[in-house]
Amino acid sequence: METLNFEKAMAGLPALPDAEKIDAIWKAALEKMHGVRIMVLDDDPTGVQTVHDVPVFTDWSEEAIDAAMAGDYPLSFILTNSRAFSAQETEKAHEEMTQRIAAAAKKGGYGYLIMSRGDSTLRGHYPLETDVLRRTMERAGDKVDGEIICPYFAEGGRFTINSVHYVKMGQDLVPAGETEFARDATFGYRASDLRDWVEEKTAGRIQAAQVERLTLAEIRSGDVEGMAEKLAGLNGRTLVADGVCEGDMRLLSAAIALAVARGKRFIFRTAAGLVKALGGIESRPLLGREELRLPSGKGGLILVGSHVQKTTAQLNSLLELEGVVQREFDITKPLEQESRAARAWAEEALQKGQVAVIYTSRKRAQVPGGPEEQLKFSVAVSAAVTDIVKQLEVTPGFLIAKGGITSSDIGIKGLGVKRAMVAGQAAPGIPVWRCGEESRFPGLSYVIFPGNVGDEDTLRNMVAGLR
């Protein structure tokens, strides 16, 4: 499939309606969906990378689901961390969550939508998770009228044009199936056209020809009534949606809202872009130094677990910064022993006011067995890195975790967060939790830096501004 030049591709797209018209259409349509609770099941903590002032719950107990459903926020995140689960584990978890969401909605008299927020480069347990959502909702008496797939995420350079999903690399748009992400040891794939990707991931159960779509030409026509009719007529089928900017997401969300207001119910597999628009969330400025740092005078701690090429390039750039000290977490050594040694080293550096960087070995370990064995080892390494934070006796001035599984484990198991508020973003696509009173370090701003976001100097520049 052809790689595109970014500027030429953008210049050749259909024109958007003007921003004021889009804004008016979007707000009017969302008003008609008033009273509908949106529950976002996030397969790692990075899904909050476009939103602010919304709650994140780190468990799916009945109490947590009830609190999310009955709270003051129409949009809530439930962090599942299911990208680190086996297929059996994620099936069980999604069945439990869906049952509890459906029950809480009935108890409170709310309409509801469930969004499965996955990776913008198409990794994760699809179609398993949305299959479980559909099956469990319908058992609860809630018919599913269609599945909407929308992996657009501009902040990470993920764009869908004519149903082909692209990853921006420099000035090129590279078809997703030709990137390193598609070669993921656990969740690999080959297709870049989302219709073909659905066929591939469902092993032919859903044929590409059966998948409906909304193209940029349809979305940018501004005919949200026509799009709503198309959505309403899915009759349970899957639809893939284009998107290259927030205006596209607002128009798509308007069409979804109109269909929902008329009694239709959908399940979603999306990246973070559509979540923001369907939740009615406006943009806000990036968080500044005073919002990201505790006034403790102590140094900062950065933990890097992701192995993608972008993370390694960002790490190398960061390590050139003056005042940064580094330690490799050697995954070939006994993990518990290495964790204790790394924690002692970090505490000493923090007391000196230094920026301490701990990164897992850049060379992937050769793990015998298949994808599930590789995933289990990755989880074990993440648990050992998490123990550094769990046992840490010095409060860091700031804390950054790099990588999805790593950042989830650190937030839940290391920091002990039960409920956090999303403060906003430290840089485009890089979310920040404000840790609750129940956590190890109340009030700490926890920066969750996805492995595949930003350019080579994004991490370095962020840390330079926090020192």
Interatomic CA distance for residues 331 and 119, integer angstroms: 25
Interatomic CA distance for residues 111 and 131, integer angstroms: 20
Check residue 146 and give its pLDDT: 99
**Contact call for residues 168 and 6 (beta carbons, < 8 A):** yes
Q: Name the percent of the chain lying above pLDDT 90.
A: 86
pLDDT digits (tens, 9 = 90+) for 419-455: 999 999 999 999 999 998 999 999 999 999 988 889 9
Mean pLDDT in residue range 161-184: 97
Check residue 192 and give its pLDDT: 99
Q: How many helices (H) and strands (E) does the chain have?
A: 16, 19
- Helix crossing, 371-390 with 335-351: angle to 10°? 40
pLDDT at 368 over 80: no
Check residue 295 and give its pLDDT: 85
Residue 437, both tokens: 């009173």
Q: What is the DSSP letter of 162?
A: T
In the numeric block, the tokens 């009615």 are attached to 280
Mean pLDDT in residue range 123-132: 98
Q: Cβ-count burial of 312 within 10 angstroms (0-12 exposed, 13-18 middle, 19+ buried)?
A: middle
Check residue 405 and give its pLDDT: 77
Count Cβ neighbours within 10 Å for each residue of 432-449 and write b for 16 or more, e otherwise.
bbbbbeebebeebbbbbb
pLDDT digits (tens, 9 = 90+) for 278-306: 999 999 999 999 999 988 779 999 999 87
pLDDT at 124 over 70: yes
Check residue 296 and give its pLDDT: 77
Query: In CATH, what class is 4-278?
Result: alpha beta
DSSP SS3 for 97: helix
pLDDT digits (tens, 9 = 90+) for 309-367: 888 999 999 999 998 999 999 988 999 999 999 999 999 999 999 999 999 987 766 67
Query: For 134, how many CA atoms within 13 A lie in the half-sphere containing its CB?
Result: 19
Q: Cβ-count burial of 7 within 10 angstroms (0-12 exposed, 13-18 middle, 19+ buried)?
A: exposed
The one-letter amino acid at 404:
G
Q: What is the DSSP letter of 397?
A: S
Phi and psi (nearest 5°) for 409?
A: -60, -40
pLDDT at 84 over 90: no
Check residue 148 and give its pLDDT: 99
Interatomic CA distance for residues 374 and 368, integer angstroms: 8
Interatomic CA distance for residues 139 and 142, integer angstroms: 7
Residue 190, both tokens: 């080959």
Assign residue 53 a region: left if phi > 0, alpha if psi is -120 to 50, beta otherwise?
left
> 379 pLDDT band (50/70/90 cuts)?
confident
**Contact call for residues 69 and 98 (beta carbons, < 8 A):** no
Interatomic CA distance for residues 305 and 316, integer angstroms: 14
Interatomic CA distance for residues 32 and 51, integer angstroms: 21
Check residue 364 and give its pLDDT: 67
Check residue 427 and give its pLDDT: 95
How many residues does this entry show for the chain?
Answer: 467
Would the CATH topology of 4-278 be identical to that of 289-466? no
Check residue 365 and give its pLDDT: 63
pLDDT digits (tens, 9 = 90+) for 194-235: 999 999 999 999 999 999 999 999 999 999 999 999 999 999
How much is the mean pLDDT over the chain? 95
Interatomic CA distance for residues 340 and 395, integer angstroms: 17
Interatomic CA distance for residues 263 and 255, integer angstroms: 13
Q: Spell out the domain ranges in the chain.
A: 4-278, 289-466
Interatomic CA distance for residues 311 and 319, integer angstroms: 12
The CATH architecture one would assign to domain 289-466 is: 3-Layer(aba) Sandwich (3.40)
Q: Name the percent of the chain lying above pLDDT 70.
A: 99
**Contact call for residues 447 and 426 (beta carbons, < 8 A):** yes
